[in-house]
Amino acid sequence: MTFDLLHLALLMIAGIAAGFVNTVAGGGSVFTVPALMLLGMPADIANGTNRIGVLMQSVAGVRGFRQRGMLDQSALLPIAAPTVAGSLIGSLVASYLPPDILKPVLLGTMLAMTLLVVLKPSTFPATGEQPFSITEKPAAMGWLFAAGLYGGFVQAGVGFILLAALAGILRYDLVRANALKMACTLVFGAIALAVFALRGQVLWIPGLIVGVATIIGVQLSVRFAISAQQKTLKWIFLGMAMTVCVAALLK
């Protein structure tokens, strides 16, 4: 696949938007996957290629949380294990689905998750509340497995499912829940990328371009994320995501 300046600009804009919304709301893959499809990639190739940027952003996020002492490393293994199992199944299903079936399923799922995020936001615990271990709240394992399953299949919006388990059930405050969320995404994202790469469904150059742009978007979004109202951010997120997904469906 060849790229001109227009293609490069599209990938950069989508990547920056993904990094931006992942910081202020979450679900950045609703920009990058449709953008990759708009370049002419089949749905399976776009889904696999997108995992490069997801992995790069997760590495940067985990590194930042760990440096600030916000990552509960003792809880990481029991929390990550069910997401890994789900991710392996989800990525294999997405990898083997025919592209003409995968495309509407993929984009429809992303639109549904975007609407859910905006219309039914999660409730998070107060800072300082003592979190539970996964053995104390075994129901969290089902949510974590579902997050891995969904993340392996499509990725977009998986952070909200992870936060439902980490903040909603295990009662981590939002900062520490986000740290564990990024760590889980890193682990099962690497597995999903390996599955797609082994199936020959990853284009490395556009994936790396998106990955670099995503990290740029994260850096640019910090000040805006602090000052803007969450309600405003979510409606911006919804409008942009629906525009890009509909454009990819019509292509």
Mention every residue, 6+ apart, whose C-beta is less than 8 A from residue 65.
Answer: 71, 178, 179, 182, 183
When divided into structural domains, the chain yields a total of 1
Host domain of residue 92? 5-250
- Encode pLDDT of 134-145 as tens digits: 767 777 888 788
For residue 207, pLDDT over 90 is answered with: yes
Q: What is the pLDDT of residue 198?
A: 92
Q: What is the pTM of this model?
A: 0.73
pLDDT score at 197: 93
Q: What are the tens digits of pLDDT across the range 152-204?
A: 887 766 776 777 777 777 777 767 777 888 888 888 888 889 989 999 999 99
Sort residue 27 into left (φ over 0), alpha (ψ -120 to 50) or beta.
Answer: left
Predicted pLDDT at 208: 94
Write down the pLDDT at residue 211: 92
Average pLDDT over every residue of 69-89: 81
CA separation (Å) from 234 to 120, 174, 246? 11, 17, 18
List phi, psi (to 5°) of 173.
-70, 165
